[in-house]
Structure 1
Amino acid sequence: MEMGSIRTTWRKSSYSGANGGECIEVSSRRPHIALRDSKDVDGPELVISNNDFRHLTETLKNQ
């Protein structure tokens, strides 16, 4: 899914720290969520459904 032309606001977790090391950024693109590497803002994006993102975050919280 090509969405590079859509202007979005990206955000990082408050847990990512000041140096921005190994983080992902998240952007809401209803009805999807886009994810990207914070160190490669012009790189590829992973676009998933809101439900898949919710399942991913719930799974990670339970690890």
Structure 2
Amino acid sequence: MADESAWFKSSYSNDTGGSCVEIADLNGKVGIRDSKDPHGPAFVLPVGSWSHFIRAVTIGEFGN
């Protein structure tokens, strides 16, 4: 999918196994994977959908 160097961890991830998310730029798409399983499945979104998701989370559009 992407070279290992393309993936970076979320700033909210930590080394104790909690919230381990990695993101990669996939030329117009965004790859999202679990850093604990780097060779497992990845979720892929168009950049626009990823941007909309981040915007919605940032403004609190998703309820608890």
TM category (shorter chain) comes to 0.7 to 0.9
3-state DSSP class of the match of 2:33? strand
Work out the number of aligned pairs and report it: 59
TM-score, normalized by length of structure 1? Answer: 0.76
**Percent of matched pairs sharing the same residue:** 32
Larger fraction in strand? 2
> Are 1:32 and 2:29 an aligned pair?
yes
* CA offset digits 1:3-60 (Å, max 9, x no partner): x3x4251111223234342221000011111000111111101111000000011111
The 4+ residue runs of structure 1 with deviation greater than 6 A are: none
- Equivalent residue number for residue 60 of structure 1: 57
Please tell me whether residue 45 in structure 1 is matched to residue 39 in structure 2.
no
Q: Note if contact 2:30-2:50 (Cα within 8 Å) is conserved in structure 1.
A: yes
Q: CA–CA distance in 1 between the matches of 2:19 and 2:35?
A: 7
TM-score, structure 2 normalization: 0.75
Q: 2: CA distance between counterparts of 1:61 and 1:23?
A: 19
Q: Which runs of 5+ in 2 are unaligned?
A: none
Taking only aligned residues, the RMSD between alpha carbons, in angstroms, comes to 1.6
Deviates more, 1:6-15 or 1:27-36: 6-15
